[in-house]
Structure 1
Amino acid sequence: MNSVPQRKKKLSRALATVALAVGLASVVAVPAHANSSSDTQSCTASWYGAPGEIPDNWPTASGEPFDPEAMAAASRELPFGTEVRVTNTDNGESVTVRVNDRGPTDTGRCIDLTKGAFSRIADTDRGLVAVTLEVLDD
């Protein structure tokens, strides 16, 4: 089990790698959401994979076929395979997802959940929901 400082260091390295890849190294040096108690972030989540939006078995950024019902997510920052607990701050409902794609493209959002994952914590008619993210130990 990794300690909180080890997880923060891993997350910080992942953010720095992504920042370098997109030319933002001067903007992202340390994750803004890192704090002394845990690797959590409060932000807005969205969902993707509405019927007709993505063709069946379309490859995600990780190469896995997209499954709108999978407990999976897209993140700009976290490495593929990272497990994250996503909690709806309005109702306390949580879902654990695995990062296998890149996104969201809207900078106001921190994570895109599959339709199946989003529906576990909120009504998909909402489209967006305030959440907390917690990176789980390896």
Structure 2
Amino acid sequence: MILSRPLHLILMLLLAIAVAGCSSTGGRKKGGGYYKDDGPDANPPSNLDQVPDAVPRIEPYASGANRPYVVFGQRYVPDTSGQPYKQRGTASWYGKKFHGNSTSIGESYDMYAMTAAHTTLPIPSYARVTSLVNGKTIVVRVNDRGPFHSDRIMDLSYVAAYKLGIIGPGSGQVIVESIPQAEIRRLASQGAPAAPEPASATGSLPVLAPVAAVPVALTAEDRK
């Protein structure tokens, strides 16, 4: 079919707009973030590799953030029993779009702190996260709720995702393991070396040195 020149120009213009749109919203592969319009800061710090893991310590649970709740018609019941938790699934990350926003316990989200969001782990609490792709392990402080998507089990801060190696793809297969308060107390009773108490922390036990600097040994079953 032969198109008139005006119609031909209109179609070419629409095609150009579509192509430009695809290139500017190249999803998580281009921008890096899992969420639309999210991504790293324009000038991220140069020392992200040196950001230490979260240091587990005893903290009182936030009462309001550990009650059952409903999001998108799905009911979630946070588990404050102290029982060990281990789950395999997909972790994603959130960055500058949420930087400075309030978390579920009223803290400001800091994309450069070793934190994470989880739907049912008690908050605040601590967890080991191990990549099933490269075997790297990090320790994060869980201080937020989410992700509310059936295909993901945890949202990591930008720097946590960076250290785990999932910034580029936007998500990755991981194993999440809780660090219960009983384990933190056990390490304290064994005389684990203590780190300086954060200036903002009050009413807590001495801060312990990171308990998961050694990568978790992955079994053949974990790697399937």
Could you tell me how far apart the structure 2 residues matched to 1:136 and 1:85 are?
7
Higher helix share: 2
1:79-125 CA distances to partner (integer Å, 9 max, x unpaired)?
11110000001111011001111111221100000010011111401
Superposition CA RMSD, Å: 2.5
Scaled by the length of structure 2, the TM-score of the pair is: 0.45
- Which of 110, 126, 133 is 1:83 aligned to? 126
Cα offset, 1:57, TM superposition: 2.4
Could you tell me how far apart the structure 2 residues matched to 1:57 and 1:109 are?
23
Could you tell me how far apart the structure 2 residues matched to 1:115 and 1:78 are?
20
Could you tell me how far apart the structure 2 residues matched to 1:101 and 1:24 are?
17
Letter in 1 for 2:89: C
Please give the secondary structure, in 1, of the residue aligned with 2:92: strand
Scaled by the length of structure 1, the TM-score of the pair is: 0.70
Alignment match, 1:59:
102
Could you tell me how far apart the structure 2 residues matched to 1:111 and 1:39 are?
13
Which is bigger in relative contact order (C-alpha 8 A, separation at least 6)?
1
Alignment match, 1:48:
94
Letter in 2 for 1:43: G
Instruction: Report how many residues are paired.
Output: 110
Please give the secondary structure, in 2, of the residue aligned with 1:41: strand
Could you tell me how far apart the structure 1 residues matched to 2:166 and 2:151 are?
20
Alignment match, 2:49:
none
Residue identity over aligned pairs, in percent, reads 37
Alignment match, 2:112:
69
Letter in 1 for 2:133: D
Cα offset, 1:39, TM superposition: 2.7
Gaps of 5+ in 2: 1-66, 182-224
Would you say 1:134 and 2:180 are equivalent positions?
no
Question: What stretches of structure 1 move > 3 A for 4+ residues in a row?
Answer: none
Could you tell me how far apart the structure 2 residues matched to 1:46 and 1:123 are?
8
1:48-74 CA distances to partner (integer Å, 9 max, x unpaired)?
01x3x12x5221111001100110001
- Which of 124, 128, 136 is 1:93 aligned to? 136
Cα offset, 1:24, TM superposition: 5.5
Alignment match, 1:125:
168
Could you tell me how far apart the structure 1 residues matched to 2:151 and 2:173 are?
11
Could you tell me how far apart the structure 2 residues matched to 1:137 and 1:40 are?
11
